[in-house]
Structure 1
Amino acid sequence: MLESVFHVLRILHIIGGFVALFVFWIPIITKKGGKLHYLFGWIYVYGMILVAISAFYMGVYRIFFDSNTTNEEVSFSWFLLFISILSSASAYYGLRVLRFKTRKQVHTHMLDLFFSLLLLLSGIGISIYGFTQSFVLLSWFPLVGIALGLTQLIYWLKIPTKKMHWWFEHFSGMLACCISTITAFTVFGAPRLLNVESVSIILWFLPTIIITPLIIGLGIYYTKKFNKPKGINL
């Protein structure tokens, strides 16, 4: 029964992954708040929900219920679990900051804090596991989750001071989710499609290397744009 569910969810995981991979760029380049941004943004979110749920199940199944799983497969399954947490927590955060964009006080909603704390703690745990296994991907990639989880917690537990603060947090959350989408594809999808046994470790980290500066750059740009002195046009 568990194995049958695994195979069904693997197919759904592939479908959801490809949907997310093909549409994630559309909300980035279209007018923010426009119809296309809204439509394809939700298509991306639903695709990632399917990816996250299926990835979590497959990871748990491989680690705890499949007696034929090799040590390497166990390590990749832990990575799959972390990708599930990273993608779901980032997308959830990106949506929730919109829900509370008018807040004027510290935010203590337990579920919101839980997801951010889960991302932080899972990043720490998976990174420690990666170092014990001498697995470079698991050692260093979770640092993204640690940084994001900590940043999210700080945002929730501080009173907003910047104009359009929710705008920055929304795109950073969604772009962080994009990191998990593309990274998962380079680790799992691309090697299978190209029929190659191994992929350079540089390719595994390339989405993080590219998207992280993009998040920082957009943050700087919009901070200047929305918090500029009156009478100055950028």
Structure 2
Amino acid sequence: MEVSFNMALGLHVISGFAALLVFVIPMVTRKGGTFHRRTGWLYVVSMASVSITALYMGIYRLTWDAGSNPDAIPFSWFLIFIAILSGATAWYGIRVLRFKKRKISHRQPIDFLFPSLMLISAIGVSAYGWIISFPLLQYFPIIGMFLGLSQLQYWLSVPKRKSHWVVEHIVGMLSCCIATVTAFTVFGAPRLLQIESVSLMLWFMPTMALVPLIIGYSTYYTRKLDGKRNVPD
């Protein structure tokens, strides 16, 4: 089992660095262009690998290493949650493009599965964080609660704006970026800097930096596609 864990860890590190290297490119290249799509897919594939390996490693730690290293349990739960968050947001960012022309509420069960899983896991992990007084688990899952509810609301509602799919694509992919960079600040940065831990403020810096980008991009494309008054279709 240790061999499989080390293989998963190696793939996780490689995929994570690949995601970190390319995640900015789709944000600054022409939307819908060939380079934007190719680098976007590279990011999605990298994050799919990151998500799957993170989920495996988190479960492995809880199943086989919990007894030998109890202090790793909270971070294992965070690893599992960040795997769900990154996977669900990347899936959402792709699926809204697939159904960008829809005129009715969405009824694909798989698209309700991921936000529901994200919402349930966020509530459970946050509750566990409050029980053990672990701030990272107490507060960070609030992002998952918000995203889970907003994704469910989007799929259930009838689109009223031309920009709906662009805005939701941006929200999905940049939320996935938050998961990417946050995971690096929690797990990767301490090892590279050879320190035991980092501050809670540093853990939340990716969120504080990328949320204004989400708002800015969403506002820009809403005005561009819907007009300055944002008149519904």
Calculate the TM-score normalised by the size of structure 2: 0.95
**Identical aligned pairs, as a percentage?**
54
| Structure 1: gaps spanning 5 or more residues | none
Distance 1:214 1:47 in 2: 22
Distance 1:54 1:193 in 2: 20
Distance 2:139 2:182 in 1: 13
Q: Is the 8 A contact 1:98 1:170 kept in 2?
A: yes
Letter in 1 for 2:212: P
Which is further off, 216-225 or 17-26? 216-225
Distance 1:194 1:162, change over 3 A: same
Distance 2:66 2:218 in 1: 46
Q: CA deviation at 1:210?
A: 1.2
Q: CA deviation at 1:64?
A: 1.6
Distance 1:68 1:3 in 2: 15
Distance 1:199 1:23, change over 3 A: same
Q: CA deviation at 1:72?
A: 2.1
Corresponding residue of 1:107: 106
Q: Is the 8 A contact 2:190 2:198 kept in 1?
A: yes
What do residues 3-49 of structure 1 show as CA deviations (whole Å, max 9, x unaligned)? 21111100100000000001000000000011110111011111101
Letter in 2 for 1:177: C
Corresponding residue of 1:205: 204
Q: Work out whether 1:65 is the aligned partner of 2:64.
A: yes
Q: Is the 8 A contact 1:129 1:139 kept in 2?
A: yes
Which aligned segments of 4 or more residues in structure 1 are displaced greater than 6 angstroms? none
Q: Work out whether 1:150 is the aligned partner of 2:149.
A: yes
Letter in 2 for 1:81: I
Corresponding residue of 1:196: 195
Which is further off, 195-204 or 168-177? 195-204
Secondary structure at the counterpart of residue 102 of structure 1: coil
Distance 1:62 1:19, change over 3 A: same
Which is further off, 173-182 or 66-75? 66-75
Q: Is the 8 A contact 1:164 1:226 kept in 2?
A: yes
Corresponding residue of 1:131: 130
Q: Work out whether 1:171 is the aligned partner of 2:170.
A: yes
* Cα RMSD for the two superposed structures: 1.2
Corresponding residue of 1:84: 83
Q: Is the 8 A contact 2:82 2:179 kept in 1?
A: yes
Distance 1:105 1:53 in 2: 32
Letter in 2 for 1:99: R
Q: Is the 8 A contact 1:63 1:69 kept in 2?
A: no
Q: Is the 8 A contact 1:120 1:146 kept in 2?
A: yes
Q: CA deviation at 1:229?
A: 6.1
Q: Is the 8 A contact 2:128 2:138 kept in 1?
A: yes
| Structure 2: gaps spanning 5 or more residues | none
